[in-house]
Amino acid sequence: MESLEQIRDRLLARFPGATVTLVTNPGVAAEHSLLLDAAHGAELALFLRDDPALQLDYCSNATGVDWPDKEITDVKKTTVPDPAGGAPKVVEEKTKHVEPGCLEAVYHLYSMALRHGPVVIRLRTANRSDQVKLPSLTPVWRSCDFQEREIYDLYGIVFEGHRDLRRLLMWEEFKDHPMRKDYVDPDDYEWEPTPHAAVLERAKAHYPVPPAATPPEAPKP
């Protein structure tokens, strides 16, 4: 099978307006991936499926990732002379900036026809709040159907073009996305009739306060 660099170069040659970035994985598995821009995600996916040399006809897994805003510290080093005539000193100037977060869908692709893979591709939303749409890849790989529903349910990514995008694990009236890193557990769980331990202590704040007991009247003489 071609390397990811070769696949990236062929995608860029075929779709010159697209953005395809190699994302390296420093872990032991070294499972590198290709980040596809969302605007061209569907047509890039079709190419990966239909190209004769790749034939990535099966998506074995699709999952979500939450990347919250991250504070980055930049260090600028400057060499300044020593007024006393000694060796020059290195002065560090630190500045901070916030790198905006996003949500991500990750797909693992294989070729059943050519027996190779995986090729891992990623799609990222513009942010984590009001721009969380990505193209659905279910029309390309039908096996993404339930998995994109799960990502929508747990992370909040809205897959445009999905034929039946609704919650899969949580109930329809549920308002949040439990796999978000800023998700806050409720004090009590509707499905837990007997809260205990830390949940019980937090739930007590919401229990109704029993009326104060009325002291018994003193006996009449």
Q: What is the mean pLDDT of the chain?
A: 91
Structure tokens at 188: 């009590």
Confidence of residue 91 (pLDDT cuts 50, 70, 90): confident
- CA dihedral for 146, 21, 45, 102, sign (positive or negative): positive
- Residue pointed to by tokens 């739930």: 203
- Measured CA to CA, the distance from residue 199 to residue 192 in angstroms comes to 10
Compute φ and ψ for 211, nearest 5 degrees: -60, 145
The pLDDT value recorded for residue 29 is 83
Q: What is the pLDDT of residues 107-137, one digit of tens each?
A: 999 999 999 999 999 999 999 999 999 999 9
The predicted model scores a pTM of 0.81
Confidence of residue 150 (pLDDT cuts 50, 70, 90): very high
Structure tokens at 2: 């071609």
Structure tokens at 62: 């699709």
Residues of the chain with CATH 3.30.460.80: 4-67+103-178
Residue 202 is which amino acid? R
What is the CATH number that goes with domain 4-67+103-178?
3.30.460.80
Q: Which alpha helices (DSSP H) does the chain contain, by range?
A: 4-14, 41-50, 144-155, 197-203
